[in-house]
Structure 1
Amino acid sequence: MSCSHGKQSGECVCDVVRKIVKAQDEVAAAMDNNCCTTGCEQSIRDLLSPATANGNTTIPFLLYCKGDCDLFFATGVAQNGNGAAFDCIETPVFRAKKFKKGCCVELELLEFETNSGGGGSLIPTPQDNCDFIPPNATGDFVETGICITVDLHHFIAIQCLAPTTPVSPAADNGNGHGHGHVF
């Protein structure tokens, strides 16, 4: 396979990878072994499959910025449970809420649920790849109610996590605050 015919290099790579996937799909169809164990396609299948239906409502995901391919962290501010102060939340985990005009989407910031009660809000963007995951994370997420609108054209990659149902803040630790922030 050569990249002639005046195509741009990005299209050439895309075309080659498309051919690879098509060939792999043909082989996998005969072997019935074409599923990634993690990824967006698998998460969507798991969420919609009647065989695995367990009440999950959300596919949490991570986004990677265009240009530097770094993990995208969003920061949001909300009044805390009693309305007397503010909480600042920084997280790379999102739930898509609804599409806006064009390729803009409203995203809710999700926190990691932790064994210490409350979400595991993040300290500034970590230096090591997965330091943003609290060591006492339970595997669930906590709703924050904080939403941002982003233009998806500014991202180059997405990683979907397994379907889940985020815990509401009040249900998370019983004190009505729901956020166990680390600042």
Structure 2
Amino acid sequence: MSCGPKDKKFDNCVCEVVRAIKDIQDNAVEDECLDCTTNCFLEPLGGLNSPVRRHKADTRVFTLSLPNGELFKGLFRRRLDDHPCVGGFSPFFRVEEVFDNCCATLRVLVPVGDYDHDGDLEVAKDFCKIDGFVRTDNCITVDLDCFCAVQCIADVNLRICD
């Protein structure tokens, strides 16, 4: 299911990027240089939004692509003030833990904004209408060897420790 060669001398790049995202979330390091504004290795956390860290970020939001090119999505369920339960699928994640041979626990994040809230975000059509992200209590454990691409979206403050 992995897209790369299964040779010990080749590491899984998706795994390495997700490990780096976890490290960046855990350790803020100053770096003023910007080559690519959505480079997943960009530090400090908050740097995806601005070359100068203007807000406190605790999460680097990212997506994962399957070998067929489709975005991987996680199921979520949230309670809202006016609805007892809202659910759907989201392609946006926060890494919570990376362990063993490239396994990871990911938290499903829900985008907020002025897009069609029918339970499944049409990312290509609605992406520019996303104003931010909220965390859910839904986590998923994945084998990072099953993905071919990772794309970082934004650095946000989800108030993980609140």
TM score, norm. by length of structure 2 = 0.62
Structure 1 residue 123 corresponds to structure 2 residue 119? yes
Aligned to 1:93: 92
Aligned to 1:75: 75
Q: What letter matches 2:127 in structure 1?
A: I
The Cα offsets for residues 74-109 of structure 1, whole Å up to 9 and x where unpaired, read as 21346x369x95432310000001123321111111
**Are 1:47 and 1:163, in contact at CA under 8 Å, matched by a contact in 2?**
yes
**Count of paired positions:** 128
How far apart are 1:132 and its partner, in Å? 4.9
CA RMSD in angstroms, aligned pairs only: 3.6
Aligned to 1:147: 139
Separation in 2 of the partners of 1:105 and 1:144?
A: 17
- Given the superposition, is the C-alpha separation of residues 161 and 46 from structure 1 closer, same or farther in structure 2, using an over 3 Å criterion? farther
Specify the SS of the correspondent of 1:153.
helix
Separation in 1 of the partners of 2:153 and 2:142?
A: 19
More helix by proportion, 1 or 2?
A: 1
Structure 2, unaligned runs of 5 or more: 6-32
Q: What letter matches 2:62 in structure 1?
A: F
**Are 1:90 and 1:121, in contact at CA under 8 Å, matched by a contact in 2?**
no
How far apart are 1:38 and its partner, in Å? 1.8
Q: What letter matches 1:153 in structure 2?
A: D
How far apart are 1:39 and its partner, in Å? 2.0
Aligned to 1:27: none
Identity of aligned residues (%): 25
- Given the superposition, is the C-alpha separation of residues 81 and 63 from structure 1 closer, same or farther in structure 2, using an over 3 Å criterion? same
Alignment of 1:137-176 (within 5 A): 137-138=130-131, 140-166=132-158
Larger Rg: 1
Structure 1 stretches of 4+ with a deviation exceeding 4 A read none
Separation in 2 of the partners of 1:121 and 1:154?
A: 29
Aligned to 2:45: 47
Specify the SS of the correspondent of 2:136.
strand
Could you say which structure has the greater relative contact order, defined with CA pairs below 8 angstroms and 6 or more residues apart? 2
Separation in 2 of the partners of 1:167 and 1:93?
A: 17
How far apart are 1:34 and its partner, in Å? 7.1
Specify the SS of the correspondent of 1:55.
coil
Separation in 2 of the partners of 1:48 and 1:81?
A: 27
Separation in 2 of the partners of 1:142 and 1:34?
A: 27
More strand by proportion, 1 or 2?
A: 2
